[in-house]
Structure 1
Amino acid sequence: MKLRLPEERPTEPPTGYKIAHPVLSQDGARAGFTGVSLGGALPYGVLADASCVYGLRHRAPHRRCDCGFHCVHDRTVAEALLCTAEHRTAVLLEVSVLGRYLRFERGFRYARQRVRTATVGPCACGTVAAALADAGWGRPGWRALVPSCAGCLRGRTSLSLAGFARLAGEGLRVVAGSGALLPAGDLGPHSGPGGLGVPELTAEAALLQARLDWFQAQLARLGGHGGGAGPQV
């Protein structure tokens, strides 16, 4: 006799945790994530459906395949993955498990997900991140992004944390490593133009200042080699 586990019918979607790399489309119009292991070549949005990474024509997750989104039950287990060298620049995601899922001892394999919160770690210099900047690698059509402070941007393609949240859409919240909440939508009575609040405006101002400093340094360098002619911009 073949034993089967009881079918679950939760009243609310289960919550899971995973890590991923934030990515920005080549044209700068979309933001999303790419996994760190199986399926890492297939970037996904905040709200996404899984497909079989092996190209098999069955619905994910299939019991006899590894396909589907993966997450763990325990936040601390996912955070521990960020300690490894290859995952230091990844972000921690809190997701809602949607659709069909298979429950395992440590997590889920499932058909659909909504990323609710992305927690961004510190910049490589140790400073709290104010932006997500070009990591120097990516997938076809997508640039990978890494946490960066304003001082370490140095002209790289970047988005503020709030800017990434707005571009990704679907109500995504982005949290800096310090715990400062940077939501995508309206922040209430202290919101500025376009729904930006004090944390977002402060981060945007820091990024603008860092870019201005970088451009001024470049202009000064070019001016020193210009032979009397001013730099052309």
Structure 2
Amino acid sequence: MRLRLPEERPTEPPTGYKIAHPVLSHDGTRAGFTGVSLGGALPYGVVADASCVYGLRHQAPHRRCDCGFHCVHDRSTAESLLCTAEHRAAVLLEVSVIGRYLRFERGFRYARQRIRVATVGPCTCGTVASALADAGWGRPGWRALAPSCAGCLRGRTSVSLASFARLAGEGLRVVAGSGAAGCGVAVADVVADGLGVPELAAEAALLQARLDWFQSQLARLGERGKGGEG
């Protein structure tokens, strides 16, 4: 006799939490995310469908495979994953679980998702992040990003939180967190369809940081010129 799992028919999509690395396309026109474990080589957008990473032709999620998107039920469980060294630069995602899913004790494995909120942790210096900057690694066609404050950009390729939200589209909200990585305390709420005073202030801080960096480089070149060096 074959046992069947109980079926659920929720009136609204269940909510789950996961972590991922934000990514920016090589031409700077698209933004998305890439996972931290299984399927991490395949960046996805705000609204995305899962497929079997092993190339099998069954629909994800399959009972006898571990394919599909993964998330946990509890926000604090997802936040605790940000404490590991390899995940410190990841962001916390709040997702809507859409379509077919398998429920487990700690989370879901499911076919389709919509990312509603992305919470960005602090810069490595401990300051609240105002941008996402080049993390020094990536995937083919995609540049991985990490939280950064205006003072730590140092000329790296970067986008403000507002710009990332606009590039990702689909109504994504990007929230800057404060304190230790993964604390999830919201201090700025950036909505893709509009800019307020906090967002404009963050944009201005980014421009000022880049201007300061260029001025420091020009000053160094000027000092070399006065000394007669090449």
TM bucket normalised to smaller: over 0.9
Q: Which secondary structure state, in structure 1, belongs to the residue aligned with residue 224 of structure 2?
A: coil
TM-fit CA distance, 1:6: 1.7
Which ranges of structure 1 fall in alignment gaps of 5 or more residues?
186-194
Indicate the residue corresponding to 2:54 in structure 1. Answer: 54
Q: Which secondary structure state, in structure 2, belongs to the residue aligned with residue 226 of structure 1?
A: helix
Indicate the residue corresponding to 2:183 in structure 1. Answer: none
Amino acid at match of 2:222: G
Amino acid at match of 1:226: G
Amino acid at match of 2:144: A
Matched, 1:154 2:162: no
Task: State how far apart, in whole Å, the 2-side matches of 1:199 and 1:57 are.
Answer: 47
Indicate the residue corresponding to 2:192 in structure 1. Answer: 184
- Farther-moved stretch of structure 1 (138-147 vs 175-184): 175-184
Amino acid at match of 1:50: A
User: What TM-score do you get using the length of structure 1 for normalisation?
Assistant: 0.92
Task: State how far apart, in whole Å, the 1-side matches of 2:37 and 2:225 are.
Answer: 49
Written as runs of structure 1 = structure 2, the 5 A alignment for 1:93-104 is 93-104=93-104
Task: State how far apart, in whole Å, the 2-side matches of 1:52 and 1:227 are.
Answer: 62
Q: Which secondary structure state, in structure 2, belongs to the residue aligned with residue 177 of structure 1?
A: strand
Amino acid at match of 1:16: G
Written as runs of structure 1 = structure 2, the 5 A alignment for 1:20-169 is 20-169=20-169
**Cα deviations across residues 183-221 of structure 1 (Å, max 9, x unaligned)?**
112xxxxxxxxx321011000000000000000011111
| RMSD of aligned alpha carbons | 1.2
Q: Which secondary structure state, in structure 1, belongs to the residue aligned with residue 225 of structure 2?
A: coil
Indicate the residue corresponding to 2:174 in structure 1. Answer: 174
Task: State how far apart, in whole Å, the 1-side matches of 2:57 and 2:169 are.
Answer: 30
Amino acid at match of 2:96: S
**Cα deviations across residues 151-195 of structure 1 (Å, max 9, x unaligned)?**
00000000111110011000000000031211112xxxxxxxxx3
Indicate the residue corresponding to 2:199 in structure 1. Answer: 200
TM-fit CA distance, 1:94: 0.1
**Cα deviations across residues 11-37 of structure 1 (Å, max 9, x unaligned)?**
100000000000000010100000000
**Cα deviations across residues 100-159 of structure 1 (Å, max 9, x unaligned)?**
111111100000000000000000000000000000000111000000000000000001
Amino acid at match of 2:191: P
Q: Which secondary structure state, in structure 2, belongs to the residue aligned with residue 224 of structure 1?
A: helix
Aligned residues: 220
Amino acid at match of 1:125: C
- Farther-moved stretch of structure 1 (53-62 vs 203-212): 53-62
Indicate the residue corresponding to 2:181 in structure 1. Answer: none
Matched, 1:209 2:208: yes
Which ranges of structure 2 fall in alignment gaps of 5 or more residues?
179-185
Q: Which secondary structure state, in structure 2, belongs to the residue aligned with residue 215 of structure 1?
A: helix
Amino acid at match of 1:108: F
Matched, 1:2 2:2: yes
- Farther-moved stretch of structure 1 (65-74 vs 174-183): 174-183
Q: Which secondary structure state, in structure 1, belongs to the residue aligned with residue 213 of structure 2?
A: helix
Task: State how far apart, in whole Å, the 2-side matches of 1:121 and 1:128 are.
Answer: 7
User: What TM-score do you get using the length of structure 2 for normalisation?
Assistant: 0.93
**Cα deviations across residues 32-52 of structure 1 (Å, max 9, x unaligned)?**
000000000000000001111
Task: State how far apart, in whole Å, the 1-side matches of 2:217 and 2:148 are.
Answer: 20
Task: State how far apart, in whole Å, the 2-side matches of 1:22 and 1:226 are.
Answer: 41
TM-fit CA distance, 1:2: 2.5
Task: State how far apart, in whole Å, the 1-side matches of 2:40 and 2:87 are.
Answer: 13
